[in-house]
Every structure is written in structure tokens, then in C-alpha cells.
Amino acid sequence: MKGWADFRAVKQAVSLEMVLRHYEVLGLRRRRDQLAGRCPIHHGQREDSFRASLGKNAFHCFACQASGNVLDFVAAMEKCSIREAALRLQKWFAGSMPIASMERPQLALPEAQAGQLVRKEEGFNLPLRFALRGVDPAHPYLAQRGIDYATAVEFGVGFYAGPGLLSRRIVIPICNQGGQIVAYAGRALDLGPPKYKLPAGFRKALELFNLHQAVGTPSGVPSGPGSKTVVLVEGYFDCMRVHQAGFPSVVALMGSSLSVAQERALLRHFERVILMLDGDAAGRAASQAIAARLSAGCSVGVACVPDGVQPDQMSSWAIRELLANSK
């Protein structure tokens, strides 16, 4: 491979977590700033042989004894030299990182510029290069949650019995605005913790669940002539139930707080937002705070969900009545 390999700049700008996402390493368990699991280098069977310290940006495998920094990891995965590993990293992340001249020697990027590269990379979730196979949309759990087969198929949700982090869970694909899958959420079938599993490194604050389908679809909600309305809910199943009730323009926060990235997406694509958050203290407080933030840029309505109730626990008729009477 030709070009100048700036080792120091690459190590400053590219984190080990970014590279693990690039290789689609699944099944790693996070504890504080450390990831642990099977070694992706020698594909070992031990569940805890591989350790990655995100704080130190270093890794070690107790089985194959591979260790080092991000350059060493790529060199081991690609079976190449450190220089070739640096060139690969510069190429892989060139679209999001304006790495300084790769054609002439340069000792390092200026400190301020290196920081800028990292911040820019943190501005999006990398699309997955795979899709889970054998997902069953007819699993009884979905019917228990009020999700019919057609809705499950449309959202791509279902029971996954394959290997990995989300084995024997209901998997829910999360897409970016372009419709590319950036993560899967895994819902437990029982009450044991954790209720949901998400892959290490995925930043849900950068996404709105179902935005790719809500943009460009009719809202189904009464509004002014030509206005584009979206219903905003908290969770995945809330979103699916509102969609199933006849309102395809619905997105979920995947929580009860609104991030800056989510706020920008709502204001960019919609003229009116109807808040339909959970009927508990957290949902009421979040509705008030979010309404105050959004009202400067769009019209805001509030559909007051009954006390102690979540939208996914309501019938389609009740959802339609509530949205028709939103304040």
C-alpha cells in the first residue's frame, strides 16, 4: 500500500471501539471502560479471553497473547505490518476524518485538529455490514405485546435464536435516516436483567427510531393544510403500536430524554410534533421539557396518556382518540 502512514495521528484519532465496530465484533460485554469477550483475532471459544480497555485504547488476549494498541489490533486482524495497518485505518475513516496529508511526512496532527477528528467521528453510528438471519416475526411474545404479524414484518422485529449477544431475545433493528441498520436492540422474554441489550459503542442519542419510515409518509394526524406532523413516543413498542393504529409518521426517543441530535432531526423534517410520552412522572416532566425546547422551531401538541399507562398498552381505538384530541 502506498502513502504516508502517520502512526501518531491515527492512534490519536481512531479509537479501538471504532475499529471493533468496523469489524462488527459482537458479543463483547461492557464493564465501565472495559470490553470483554471472545477474541476476534484467533476466534477462540473462551468467553472472557479478550479484553479491550477503552480508556487506555489498548487490548490483550490471554489465550493467543496478542496485545497492543489500535494499530497492533488491525495488524493482527489483517495479518499485515504496522505501517499497512495505519494506511488501512486512514483509508477506512477518511470519509469522516480529514486526516492531514498522507502524501508527505508529518510528525503528527496539531492537537486541536486531532481533537476535531475524534469529535467528527463521534457524530454518527456506523452502519452494520450484516443483517441477522432467521428472525421469527410470529413469536408469541409479539402477540402478547399487541404487535400483529404485518407490523412485525414491516419493522423487521422477531425472535432470534442464533448465536451472539442477542441470542434468544426479540431483536429490533434500529436504522439511520437512510434506512441502514446501525444496531439491533435485544428485548428479554422474561423479567431478568437486562431488559434490553444494545451493542457496545452504539449511541442511541444520535438516532430516532423509525425516522427513516416516518419521513415522507402521511402522518394520519389531523393538522393544518400541507403540514408535516410526527408523533413522538418513548419506546420501540410504543412506536410500533402507534404505527399499527394508523399513524405511520411516528418516531421513538428510545428513552425519555431528547438529545440535541434528535431535536435537530425533528425540526429539520417536521412542522408539527405531537408528544405522546408515558403517563408517569418521568413522562410528564419530559413532555414539558421537550415541548419548551421544540416550540421555538415548530408547532407542538401533547397527547396526555392516562396515568400509569404507556402507549403500547392502549388499544388502537384509544390511541386514535387520544391523538385526535391532542392539545
Are 133 and 154 within 8 A, CB to CB?
no
C-alpha cell at 55: 480508556
Chain centroid offset of residue 22 CA? 14
Sign of CA dihedral 145, 150, 153, 156: negative
- CA distance linking residue 20 with residue 24, whole number of Å: 6
C-alpha cell at 303: 397527547
- CA distance linking residue 190 with residue 174, whole number of Å: 22
Are 156 and 135 within 8 A, CB to CB?
yes
Question: What is the per-residue pLDDT across 82-105, written as a single tens digit (0 to 9) for each?
Answer: 888 888 888 876 644 443 434 334
pLDDT of residue 3: 57
Helix or strand holding residue 305 (H, E): none
DSSP states of 103-169: SS--S---HHHHHHHHHHHTTSPPPPS---S--BTT-HHHHHTT--HHHHHHHT-EEE-SSSTTTTE
**In the 8-state DSSP scheme, what is residue 269?**
H
Chain centroid offset of residue 128 CA? 10
Task: Enumerate residues 6+ apart whose C-beta is below 8 A from 288.
Answer: none
- CA distance linking residue 157 with residue 135, whole number of Å: 7
pLDDT of residue 97: 45
Q: Phi then psi for 24, rounded to 5 degrees?
A: 60, 45
- CA distance linking residue 32 with residue 25, whole number of Å: 18
pLDDT of residue 220: 64
Amino acid at 268: R
Helix or strand holding residue 17 (H, E): helix 16-22
C-alpha cell at 207: 438516532
- CA distance linking residue 266 with residue 324, whole number of Å: 21
Question: What is the per-residue pLDDT across 223-265, written as a single tens digit (0 to 9) for each?
Answer: 544 458 999 999 999 999 999 999 999 999 999 999 999 999 9
pLDDT of residue 325: 86
Closest CA to 202 of 48, 63, 324, 30: 30
pLDDT at 166 over 70: yes
Sorting pLDDT into bands at 50, 70 and 90, what band is 4? Answer: low
pLDDT of residue 5: 62
Span 11-30, average pLDDT: 84
Question: Average pLDDT, whole number, for the chain?
Answer: 84
pTM, rounded to two decimals: 0.64
For residues 305 and 122, the model is more confident at 305
Span 58-82, average pLDDT: 87
Which domains, and CATH codes, for the chain? 7-121 (3.90.580.10), 140-202 (3.90.980.10), 211-324 (3.40.1360.10)
